Structures are given as structure tokens and as C-alpha cells.
Structure 1
Amino acid sequence: MKSPFKPRNLTQNTFDDTDMQRLSDIHHDSLVITMQIGTVRVLRILVDGGSSVNLIMLDILKAMKIDEKQIIKKPNVLVGFSGETKNTLGEIYLPSYVEGVSSYERFGVLDCHSSYNAILGRPCIHNVRAIPSTYPEKEKVCRKRRKFAPERNTIINEEVDKLLDMGMIREVMYPEWLANVVVVQKKNGKWRVCVDYTHLNKACPKDPFPLPHIDAMVDATAGHKILTFMDASSGFN
């Protein structure tokens, strides 16, 4: 099936060594993105230049309210790195949009559990003329130091000193990575000192390994007599 979309002219982006200056932790995380497939904004999509096909999970198609009748019954055999095989249910053609570029992609449909909702392989990468790279995924975030009233400064200093003594935190020198603290009063009248990571979270790549669903974690405790909780703030289990 021929794609009805034509890729638009793309802006040239270049990166050099200056983009990685003052970054103490060079990451090697997977390239996981969010993009629109059909009329739905799909999260946790793995960009895999080593895959010869695009894949989408059956559960995601159901969540997108796409009728299974649209799946073309042309199953294929997928062969993994170590030789294991997996059969697809068939294939489906879906419009995809990313950063102003539209394409009509063929996805193999898999009925299995996966950490990702979809996988973009070389066909999609080629169609949108993309060059996948995790090199520029980090950017520097520096917020202006927030000023507090003297009594709030006392509360903050006491909390920082306590966490330093417990070994829960340590001093680092990141002049271009700065997040302010927030002091919030609890119901019992005491104060809670938090860190505002809003802008830092926006700059960091998304976690490709999300936490399990809470209901699944609760179900996993069935039949056990003891359940332990970790309190990272207080430094004990």
C-alpha cells in the first residue's frame, strides 16, 4: 500500500562536543519517544534501528479503539538476537505523525506483554528521514535560586544537615543543574522540605522501564503475612 503522505522538508540539526560539556554522567539509555499514531498520542515507543519491521502491541490497538478486523491476516515470524521466534498476528497500516512529518506506516501486530507500546524499526526511520541518536537527549537546566524568609531557611538548613548526617544525600557541584527546594506545611503543623524537579524532569529522557501498576503490586502481596515499606526520607525500611 502506497503512503498518501509525503515527508516535509526537515530542519538540519547538528551536535558537537560542546553539547556534552559539564555532563558528568553520559547515559546509554534506550531511545524512547512519544508520537501520534492514528488519532492517539502513544507513549513508550522504542526507536530500534536494529529492527527490520515496525511493531505495535495488540493491547494498544484495542485501547485505541481500532477494530481487529482492520488487521491484515499476514502473519510473519520474528527472529530475536538469540534465535528465539515470535509470530505476529498480521499487519496493519496506520498514519503516524512526528514533529510535523507525516507517514503511513505498516506495523506488525504482536499479542504479548512488552515494556513498550510500539517499536519503530528501520522502515519508519527511513520514511520520516530520521537519524536516531541519544547524544543530545540531555539538556542543562538551571533555575534561579529561590529566596526564603529567615524561618524557612532555618527549616531547610536543618533538614539538609539531617540528611547529610544520615548519608542520604551528598554535596555536588552542578552550577548548570539546579533545582530549588519547596517548603510545605503538613497537617500536623510540621514542615516538609521537597525538591521541585519539574524542569529537570522535562529535560531528562523518559524512563523506558516504568514501575508496575499499583494494583498488580497489591495483588502480589496476597498470601503474605508481612509487607515492608521503604522510607527513603527517614532512611529505614
Structure 2
Amino acid sequence: MFFNEEDSRGVRQPHNDPLVITLTIGGFNTQRILIDNGSSADIMYLPAFQKLKLDLGRLRPFDSLLVSFSGDKVYPKGIVTLKVIIGTYPKQQTHQLDFLVVDCPFSYNVVLATKENHAWTIEKEKEDKVEALEAVELVEGEIAKTTRIGTTLSPEMRTKLIQFLKENLDVFAWSHEDIPNISRQVIQHKLNVDPWKKPVQQRRRVFAPERSQAITNEVNKLLQADLIREVYYPEWLANVVRIEANPEKVQAILNMTSPKSVKEVQKLTGRIVALNRFVSKATDKCLPFFKTLKQAFAWTDKCEAAFQELKHYLSNPPLLSLSKEGESIYLYLAASATAVSTALIRKEDKK
């Protein structure tokens, strides 16, 4: 089987599209056969084996493990030899292939191998030939500045190697501070993005406290070594210190018409509750709505005025910020005839 330039027309390059074919196996037309140029074994999955109505007694023992690309290991049910017909008359070939029958979920019925080893490999026991290593202290008195060398070196070669390493200590980086001012021509990280695509704002990721602290420590090391610099809240990145009201929930209230029944008032108050922490003195602002739920429904001028005022307020809702460890915050308390409101406030110096 081969392909030419004509076959590649219309295919975006480079690509990794799978090659899936149909063959006749054991006298049955078998679909969803993946040609894997990385597998070292021909694999047939148990559901396909059963659909071919083959007797399990035809399976011969196979004791080696199969290892997938992801590292998963499985023992095959056995190995079976089947006749495979490739192509159609008059251009066809017939082969006898050995299939390892595997019982695990997969999107294909059969995987046909080629010469390289990648997706499924047969694990064979090998002797452990890893050379033992010894730690060598390159700077006297500084245990952290060590490296490891092999233990099979001759005494003369060992001495020369250690001396060579000590004479070239400048190539070792023991910490972030040891690699400042690396030229971009040597290495740099960049985002591989399409400049013609509109940036999409990322959602803020939330980590467990211990993981968040570990990330903060590593970032601080890079900042102190002047290897990275802060970028202050670009529009296409999620603002990590600001919390904004859900735009969809805000828009749902802005799009509402004046309620005409108790049920519509209940829907309005439910939507307000979802945004309660973004609405200053929410109870006072919404009191006219709540009163309509305690008596016969009547949408008064006062209700309408409160409704329009709420819409105007939510057209530009406030942003909340996360508190910082060790900072001073102030408790703001507001009381009215109907409610008591509180808020935690932080002072920020803004130029």
C-alpha cells in the first residue's frame, strides 16, 4: 500500500490522521482496522474475535505482557492465526497473520502493526544493566553542589573526570540565580498562537492550597533571579485578583421585562440572589419586589422605579478582589430601617 502526491490533495499538512481500512478476516468483512506504524504486534480485540464466531479453543497460550503507549499493561487472552484477504479481485493478496487477542476497551476492532515499535510492544524480561553511580562533591563543604559519576571507571579515569568537572563548575546551574540573563537566541518560551485569531479570555484555575503555595514559591524564585517579569492583567488573560459577576446572569436581569405576576417576581428575586454579593444594599434595593410576594400582586410605580434602578446598577457591576495575606482590611457597616449590610474593604494606592 502506498500513496502519492495526488492522494494528499485536500489534506492539511502536517497531519496525524489515522489510517483506517476494511479487510476480510476469517471469511468476514471486518471494519475499523487501524494501521498503526508504531505497533510491534497485530492486535484483535475480544469483541471482534467474538463477532467472528471463533472458538476460544483456537487460542494458543501467550505468556508475555503487552505494553501500550500510555504504559498500560495487559496479558493477551492468547494468539490465533487467521486468513486475511487484502484488496479485491483481481488485485488482492492473502496472508496468514497471527493476532494477539486482547480484552480491553478500544475504538477499533483490529490493530495491524508495521515495522516500528510504538503503540503496543511485547515486554520481554531483560537483565538490569544500569551502572551504579556515586555522588561526587565538586565544591568542598557544599553538599548541595554534587553530581554523580559511574562506579566502573578506572582510578585514573575517575580522577581525571572529577578534576575536569571541578575546572568547569561554571556550566552547572545549582539554582535559578546561577542562570541569569540567558540570551533569547539560546532559549525562550513563547505561545504558539495564530496572530489572526481573536484572543479568548481564560477562566481562572483554582488549585489546592499546598499546590498553589508551591507554584507561588517557584514563580518567586524566577522573579528574584530576574528570569521572568510580571505582566499586569492583559485583557486576554484571566484577571487573577479580580472577581466579576457572571455576565450571563447579569444579562438575564437586564433583558427581563417588568414582572406581570407573582411567578415572574419570584424569578426576578431568584436571579438577584445569585448576584447578591455584587449588589450593594441588595435588600434595600429589592424591598419593593419582596413586598409584592406577601400580598396580592400589584406592580406599583415604586416597584418599577426600583426595577429600573437595579438594571442601571447592574449595567456596570462592581469587581470584587481577593484578599492578600497579612494586609489590613476594614469592615464597612451600613444599617437601614429594613436591613443591615456589611462589606470588607481594602485600601489601594492608585496613581
Shorter chain as denominator, the TM-score bin is: 0.3 to 0.5
TM-score by length of 2: 0.29
- Give the TM-score normalised by the residue count of structure 1: 0.43
Which structure has more relative contact order (CA 8 Å, sep 6+)? It is 1
